[in-house]
Amino acid sequence: MSTLVDPVERAFLGVETSVSGQRWVSRLDQAGLNRALAISQTHGFSDIIARVLAGRGVSMDDAVSFLDPTIRNLMPDPDVLTDCRKAAIRIVQAIERSENVVIFGDYDVDGATSSALMFRTLRHYGLEPSIYIPDRIFEGYGPNPTAIGQLIDKGATLIVTVDCGSTSFEALAVAAERGVDVVVIDHHQTGHALPICHALVNPNRDDDLSGQGHLCAAGVVFMVLVNLTRILREAGDKRVASFDLLALLDLVALGTVCDVVPLKGLNRAYVVKGLIAARRMGNPGLSALFQKAGLGGPVTPYHFGFMIGPRINAGGRIGDAALGSRLLAMEDASEAMDIATRLDELNRERQAMEIAMLAEAEAEALAEYGDGSDASVIVTARQNWHPGIVGLLASRLKDKFRRPAFAIAFDVNGKGTGSGRSINGFDMGRMVRAAVDAGILVKGGGHAMAAGLTVERAQLGKLRSFFQDAAEKTVRSLVASQTLKIDGALGAAGANIALLDQLEMAGPYGSGHAQPVFAFPAHRIVDTRQIGVNHIKITLEGPDRSRLDGMAFRALETPLGDFLLGALGMTVHVAGCLSADQWQGNKRIQLRIIDAAKAL
């Protein structure tokens, strides 16, 4: 009598330990396979689409609507957000009274898009708001008492903070003392105590029951603006008819993708509909950035995340923090191109700085932690690092060592500004807040996957020990059980544009909605070489002699890169994600390699 073995219990293709130290498993267990079969048979979807949907938790009943996410179906009544109606009413009052409104934003993409959303809306309704973005180095994140006082001195009667403000107790107390209302629109985690303000709209505050905590700030701002539009329509404001709020979804999609929030529920609708808006090139600033980035083909989440986002962030990291929000808010195409050119230049400067700093960070990490196998959290620090780039260093270190990582830039006075990036399954924000409560950090906060902190140099050793102890049990367990989930096996001939078009139906992919991963069993490497600074390009040949090009990005001097460079002529198993490479109007398939193993 035979016993059925759950597919997830068996190693996919027998790969127990890949060159990257991962066990390959099927994304679908037996229940998932049954669900995929039901989706395919009930709705007539292809087997591959059914498997992808089932592997991401989509039920048979929800499959059709999942492939066509709409704002109407997925956005709840904005009133379910605590304080949302109160915030919208106060902003409407500012419109009716022609008040002096200041939008106080953050210096990243989510902050820039949120600021531009609010600015464009208020300007349509007759106001001339101003945008204030704090300097990352001299002011730090969020509202500060000095800036708030100066804005009030200049005549601000309403301050709307976007992507910040939920923990700005001292700054918002200044506004309250001077009789100026503040409306906070944010998404960052909060404690039980909240600052004094007129309204605080944040789906992650303790008393919010909306279930929309996965939204980025731009997504929350959009819900406030939906409420504002409804209030104005009910009041008979004729300007509502000439305002296309949905046309601003390109900004919401950009913020959603770049803030790496889960692409589920309303976020999927934001991105799907936002991509449609972006392809119309209606925003002069976005259009200029696409031109500078050399966009080829229709706008995709990849273009947002890897071409547009870094250029906007470059302003906040090493240049003028307000450049991004100004660019996205403006209408003049010529001026937009000037700013886009400046951001493009800053991004190149940022890339050069990152390369130099990363070499130092990796050297320090190796000296401090060896191969990292005994570390639960990687913490690196230098005095000469640029504070605006430490987040990028943390991300690279996290990828290299497969552990939560921090990079900290100390100034000459011994004050360190740091940023961290986590691995799936470990809540970094909670750990940082615990370090604040323990008196080790001056301040800090964040969410599960990313955090920021301020620390005195004298506390660095204690901080390393605290993080090591706080994370050891969880991280050790996560690292020991590292698996790569495979959606299916393909041959080089089966990786074609038709398949990719089908896969895009189930997208967009990103955080919380993983891009499909396919294994290519027993393919021979017929070409392998280094491309650019640290990428590896290979050509795979299947048993039927069909070929497929693949790229392993930033793989040089990693176990994966070393293996691929030394595997010419070998037959291997390769795993990766499929994408379209657009060049001079031609579209061809490419494999983004994420792991490999010897074919036994």
pLDDT at 162: 98
Query: Would the pLDDT of 329 be above 80?
Result: yes
d(CA 583, CA 578): 16
Range 15-39 average pLDDT: 94
What residue type is 426 in one-letter code? F
The position carrying tokens 């701002």 is 221
- Report the Cα–Cα distance between both ends of the chain, in Å, rounded: 29
7-28+487-598 is classed CATH 2.40.50.140: yes
The one-letter amino acid code at 2 reads: S
- Yes or no: is domain 370-482 CATH 3.40.50.960? no
Mean pLDDT, range 172-201, rounded to an integer: 96
pLDDT digits (tens, 9 = 90+) for 224-265: 999 999 999 999 999 999 999 999 999 999 999 999 899 999
**Is residue 3 predicted with pLDDT exceeding 60?**
no
Q: Does domain 73-345 have CATH number 3.40.50.1820?
A: no
Instruction: Say how far apart CA 237 and CA 246 lie, in whole Å.
Output: 18
* Measured CA angle at 347 (ends 346, 351), to 5 deg: 120
**Cα distances (Å, whole numbers) of residue 583 to 266, 286, 294, 400:** 33, 21, 10, 30
Residue 543: cis peptide before it, omega within 30 degrees of 0: no
So what's the pLDDT on residue 10? 86
What is the spatial distance between Cα 166 and Cα 318, in angstroms, rounded to a whole number? 25
Given a cut of 70, whether residue 354 has pLDDT beyond it is yes
Q: CA 222 to CA 217: how far, in whole Å?
A: 9
pLDDT greater than 90 at residue 87: yes
Return the axis-axis angle of helices 145-153 and 169-177, rounded to nearest 10°: 30
Residue extents of the structural domains in the chain:
7-28+487-598, 73-345, 370-482
Percent of the chain with pLDDT strictly greater than 90: 85
User: Averaged over 467-493, what is the pLDDT?
Assistant: 93
Give CA torsion, residues 247, 250, 253, 255, to 10 deg: -120
Distance CA 261, CA 247 (A): 21
Q: Write the single-letter amino acid at 449.
A: M
Exposed e or buried b for every residue in 147-160, given b needs 16+ CB within 10 A? bbbebbeeebebbb
Nearest Cα to Cα of residue 22 among 423, 317, 391, 471: 423
Contact between 88 and 199 under an 8 Å Cβ cutoff? The reply is no
Whether residue 77 has pLDDT greater than 70:
yes
Q: Which residue has the higher pLDDT, 481 or 409?
A: 409
Helix (H), strand (E) at residue 523: strand 518-531
| pLDDT averaged over every residue in the chain | 94
Report the percent of the chain where pLDDT is more than 70.
98
DSSP structure class, residue 210:
S
From 456, 404, 407, select the one nearest 431 (Cα to Cα): 404
Residue pLDDT, tens place only, 263-315: 999 999 999 999 999 999 999 999 999 999 998 788 999 999 999 999 999 99
pLDDT greater than 50 at residue 4: no
* Residue 590: predicted pLDDT: 92
What tens digit of pLDDT does each residue of 163-176 get?
Answer: 999 999 999 999 99
Whether residue 2 is predicted with pLDDT greater than 50 in this model: the reply is no
- The answer to whether the CB of 535 falls within 8 A of the CB of 554 is yes
Q: Residue 191: its pLDDT value, please?
A: 82
Whole-number pLDDT of residue 585: 64
Is pLDDT above 70 for 579?
Answer: yes
pLDDT at 583 over 70: no
pLDDT band per the 50, 70, 90 thresholds, residue 195: very high
Question: Of 138 and 517, which is predicted with more confidence?
Answer: 517
Strand partners, 421: 405, 450
The answer to whether 139 and 129 have CB atoms below 8 angstroms apart is: no
Name the H helices within 408-448. 428-437
Return the structure tokens found at 83.
């304080």
Q: For the residues 567-585, what does the mean pLDDT come to? A: 88
Which pTM was predicted?
Answer: 0.89
What band does 489 get if pLDDT is binned at 50, 70 and 90?
very high
Which residue(s) pair with 181 in the sheet? 158
Provide the sign of the torsion angle of the four alpha carbons 209, 210, 211, 215, taken in this order. negative
Residues 409, 412: Cα–Cα separation, whole Å: 10
Q: Is the alpha carbon torsion for 246, 251, 252, 256 positive or negative? A: positive
522-553 burial: b if 16+ Cβ within 10 Å, else e = ebbbeebeeeeebebbbbbbbeeeeebbbbbb
Residue 5 has pLDDT above 80, yes or no: no
| Helix ranges restricted to H, 294-408 | 301-303, 309-318, 323-329, 333-369, 390-401
Count the helix, strand and coil residues of the chain and give each as a percent rounded to the nearest 5.
45, 20, 35
Residue 52: count other Cβ atoms within 10 Å of its Cβ. Answer: 28
